[in-house]
Chains A and B, each alone.
Chain A
Amino acid sequence: QSVLTQPPSASGTPGQRVTISCSGSSSNIGSHVVNWYQQLPGAAPKLLIYSNNERPSGVPDRFSGSKSGTSASLAISGLQSEDESDYYCAAWDDSLNVVVFGGGTKLTVL
């Protein structure tokens, strides 16, 4: 059971906007930034969003992140078939002194 809670699955059709939630607590999301990772099948993870809402160079602006209180969200607009992937949120946790990951959300593009 992961410290950060994500829905196990999400889906959308091409062109749609989808959001993936990540719920935590005051010791992690409530007091630290959230990072998001994308992991395509058979590949290493890739940093998608850092510091809640910043995109690394090369990440399309279709991807955006937000945080409010002890929850965070990843939004993908203009959904494309290549967005079909696993997505993970992560944050530092003060109580555990570790980085905690969400369990991951498998996004399916219908």
Chain B
Amino acid sequence: EVQLVESGGGLVQPGGSLRLSCEASGFTFRNHWMHWVRQAPGKGLVWVSRIHTDGSATNYADSVKGRFTISRDNAKNTLYLQMNSLRTEDTAVYYCGRDNLGPEAVGNWGQGTLVTVSS
């Protein structure tokens, strides 16, 4: 069974940093692009970032470019999102997802981890 388990969310002050993790199991992690998608309270889904199977290529939403860094450790089956210079508008549930079945089709999602940026 495919499982994605996010962790690392919490309360952080504006300007602070946080690192999210997404532990994968039930599939060959190194074979799949991975994504981060976020959802602010009461709002819609917003794509954040994606990373190639071997980490050689990444893409970011303009709103996080230069502040967030996506990475992966294929030996540990783990995806990361390093978030720096956090802003109140980064407050959201962050989901990790596995790209499978088709181009940019996120076929498996984690349960999400809540990041709250507030003073």
Contact = CB atoms under 8 A, between A and B. Distances in A.
A35 B47 contact: no
B105 A50 contact: yes
A53 to B, nearest CB: 11
Chain B's interface size range is 20 to 34
A81 interface: no
Contacts of A101: 44-47
Interface in B79-113: 95, 101-107, 109-112
Nearest to B97: A45
Chain A's interface size range is 20 to 34
B62 A35 contact: no
A45 B102 CA distance: 16
Most buried by A among B45, B95, B101, B110: B45
B3 to A, nearest CB: 12
Interface string A78-109: 00000000101011100011111111100000
A35 B61 CA distance: 18
A51 B61 contact: no
Contacts of A90: 45, 47, 104
Contact of A44 (B35, B50, B59, B95): B95
B45 A104 contact: yes
Interface string A59-85: 000000000000000000000000000
Interface of B: 35, 37, 44-47, 50, 59-62, 95, 101-107, 109-112
Interface of A: 2, 32-33, 35, 37, 39, 44-47, 50-51, 54, 56, 86, 88, 90-92, 96-104
Given A54-B102, A101-B46, 7 more contacts: A2-B44, A37-B106, A45-B109, A47-B106, A97-B59, A99-B104, A101-B45
